[in-house]
């Protein structure tokens, strides 16, 4: 291992925005120096409200299109690893690691690790269950495909992240309307969609499966069951994540399928976040990100398990021998954790939240994050970028956490949100 900066191993992190600061801090805690690389000159839309902390990094390199110059600038720090921070940094992290001869996933399948259509086709080519889909570039073709497929269809941006821009469509007309709203728009990373991806709707419970890999060996860090409802015109809106113990019978088929997906997409090093539906026919991929989970999931996993993707990622890059010695050990839930996103049914200028005190008195209440504060504009919640409040629950008993989740759902509604006279509902 090359000690590059004051005796500290250097980690290069691509697109290390505030959303992944937990991973930055974990590397710093373990004595690393971090060089931040920004893969685009312009800051993507999704990160503009939450940039980064400059003091966390020994250098900040902005890639302006000259690959040789960026590679040379990074190489000067003699890094031991290149890690993708945000989703937008996955492909450039692959490229830098390959050019520097460092452990990485290579560039051959980089596009399939970002493009939702290529991703599912790579999974299908590996002989795994995969959704029927269409890369939609023409409204008439999409309408004909939906008519032939029948049932519900999901239309989404090809290379975005989260649930922004995801439409659940029950008729060809709805699919066409969704396509037209996406085709010429930008995704959350400020990149043009250039069409859309249409996929069959997968029935069943959706799970989030988080892993870390080293040298092609995969470790299951944590699994979360999603809670969903129909609200604000969205058929399948996610409002809750509940930590699932590895002893649960659903985990083994999820793990086995997830590991095969990682192999199909060439993910041999580093963290991955998979969204998988447990359909009546078995697990089927929704999508995967070759980076840590977002939304504070690793921190909550750490509360419940004692460690998370954060610790496992550090080990994979800095202490591979420790990773290999421990990989495959089933995780155990010490305390059950859940994350709840409040679903605002109102739009206007927020004056107050009515009932926060009741939430804070819940037996499993752990913390509350206020994303929309009184005096700010609140929007109807239609995706994971529009939750006004996020509540974290933690308790020894799963039943208590579930009861408190149900209580929050009961409290959430129009009466919970006070709007001032400027509100327009």
Listing DSSP states for 210-256 in one string gives EEEEETTEEEEEEEEEEEEEEETTEEEEEEEEEEE-TTSTTHHHHHH
Between CA 246 and CA 254 the distance in angstroms is: 10
pTM across the whole model: 0.94
Q: Are residues 27 and 85 in the same domain?
A: yes
Tell me the CATH number at 42: 3.40.50.20
* Position 299 in a domain: yes
Of 172, 200, 228, the residue at which a domain comes to its end is 200
CB-CB contact of 275 with 206 (8 Å)? yes
CB-CB contact of 213 with 270 (8 Å)? yes
Q: Are residues 239 and 316 in the same domain?
A: yes
- Scanning 265-308, the segments in alpha helix (DSSP H) are 297-305
Q: Are residues 398 and 358 in the same domain?
A: yes
Listing DSSP states for 350-411 in one string gives EEEESSHHHHHTSTTEEEEEESS-TTSEE----STT--SEEEEEEES-HHHHHHHHHHHHHH
* Position 389 in a domain: yes
Of 200, 234, 253, the residue at which a domain comes to its end is 200
How is residue 5 written in tokens? 């900066």
Q: Are residues 233 and 371 in the same domain?
A: yes
Q: Are residues 227 and 354 in the same domain?
A: yes
pLDDT for 384 equals: 85
Label the pairing between strands 417-419 and 282-289.
Answer: unpaired
Q: Are residues 337 and 353 in the same domain?
A: yes
Q: Are residues 316 and 414 in the same domain?
A: yes
* Position 196 in a domain: yes
Tell me the CATH number at 143: 3.30.1490.20
* Position 127 in a domain: no
Tell me the CATH number at 260: 3.30.470.20
Between CA 224 and CA 405 the distance in angstroms is: 14
Of 177, 200, 223, the residue at which a domain comes to its end is 200
Q: Are residues 30 and 80 in the same domain?
A: yes
CB-CB contact of 390 with 342 (8 Å)? yes
Burial 231-242 (b: 16+ CB within 10 A, else e): bbebebbbbbbb
Between CA 6 and CA 59 the distance in angstroms is: 14
* Position 115 in a domain: no
Q: Are residues 377 and 404 in the same domain?
A: yes
pLDDT for 3 equals: 44
Q: Are residues 209 and 138 in the same domain?
A: no
pLDDT tens series, the chain, 425 aa: 344 577 899 999 999 988 899 999 999 999 999 999 999 988 877 677 777 899 999 999 999 999 999 999 999 999 999 999 989 999 999 999 999 999 999 999 999 999 999 999 999 999 999 999 999 999 999 999 999 999 999 999 988 776 778 899 999 999 999 999 898 887 767 787 788 999 999 999 999 999 999 999 999 999 999 999 999 988 889 999 999 999 999 999 999 999 999 999 999 999 999 999 999 999 999 999 999 999 899 999 999 999 999 999 999 999 999 999 999 999 999 999 999 999 999 999 999 999 999 999 999 999 999 999 999 999 999 988 899 999 999 999 999 999 999 999 999 999 999 998 744 44
pLDDT for 253 equals: 98
Q: Are residues 183 and 292 in the same domain?
A: no
Angle at 113 between CA 230 and CA 265, to 5 degrees: 110
Q: Number of structural domains, the chain?
A: 3
Between CA 343 and CA 294 the distance in angstroms is: 19
Between CA 188 and CA 227 the distance in angstroms is: 24
* Position 276 in a domain: yes
Q: Are residues 210 and 196 in the same domain?
A: no
Range of the domain at 58: 10-102
């Amino acid at each position: 291992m090359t000690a590059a900066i004051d005796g500290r191993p250097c980690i290069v992190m691509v697109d290390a925005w505030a959303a992944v600061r937990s991973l930055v801090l974990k590397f710093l805690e373990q004595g690393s120096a971090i060089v931040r690389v920004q893969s685009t000159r312009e800051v993507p839309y999704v990160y503009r409200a939450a940039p980064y902390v400059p003091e966390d990094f020994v250098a900040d390199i902005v890639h302006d299109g000259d690959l040789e110059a960026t590679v040379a600038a990074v190489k000067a720090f003699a890094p031991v690893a290149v890690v993708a921070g945000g989703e937008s940094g996955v492909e450039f992290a692959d490229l830098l690691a390959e050019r520097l001869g460092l452990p990485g996933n290579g560039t051959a399948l980089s596009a399939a690790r970002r493009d939702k259509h290529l991703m599912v086709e790579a999974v299908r080519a590996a002989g795994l269950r995969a959704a029927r889909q269409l890369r939609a570039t023409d409204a008439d073709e999409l309408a004909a495909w939906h008519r032939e497929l029948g049932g519900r269809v999901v239309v989404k941006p090809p290379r975005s992240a989260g649930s922004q821009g995801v439409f659940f469509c029950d008729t060809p007309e709805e699919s066409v309307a969704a396509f037209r709203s996406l085709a010429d728009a930008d995704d959350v990373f400020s990149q043009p969609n250039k069409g859309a991806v249409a996929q069959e709707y997968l029935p069943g419970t959706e799970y989030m499966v988080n892993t870390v890999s080293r040298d092609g060996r995969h470790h299951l860090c944590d699994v979360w069951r999603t809670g969903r409802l129909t609200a604000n015109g969205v058929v399948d809106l996610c409002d809750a994540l509940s930590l699932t113990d590895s002893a649960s019978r659903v985990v083994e088929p999820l793990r086995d399928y997830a590991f095969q997906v990682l192999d199909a997409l060439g993910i041999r090093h580093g963290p991955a976040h998979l969204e998988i539906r447990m359909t009546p026919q078995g697990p089927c991929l929704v999508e995967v990100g070759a980076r840590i989970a977002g939304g504070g999931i690793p921190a909550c996993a750490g509360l419940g398990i004692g460690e998370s993707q954060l610790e496992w990622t550090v080990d994979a890059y800095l202490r591979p021998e420790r990773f290999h010695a421990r990989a495959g050990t089933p995780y155990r839930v010490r305390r059950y954790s859940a994350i709840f996103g409040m679903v605002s049914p109102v739009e206007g200028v927020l004056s107050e939240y009515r009932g926060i005190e009741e939430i804070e008195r819940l037996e499993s209440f752990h913390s509350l994050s206020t994303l929309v504060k009184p005096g700010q504009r609140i929007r109807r919640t239609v995706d994971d970028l529009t939750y006004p409040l996020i509540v974290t629950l933690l308790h020894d008993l799963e039943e208590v956490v579930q009861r408190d989740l149900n209580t929050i759902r009961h409290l959430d509604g129009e009466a919970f949100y006070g709007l001032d006279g400027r509100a327009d509902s």
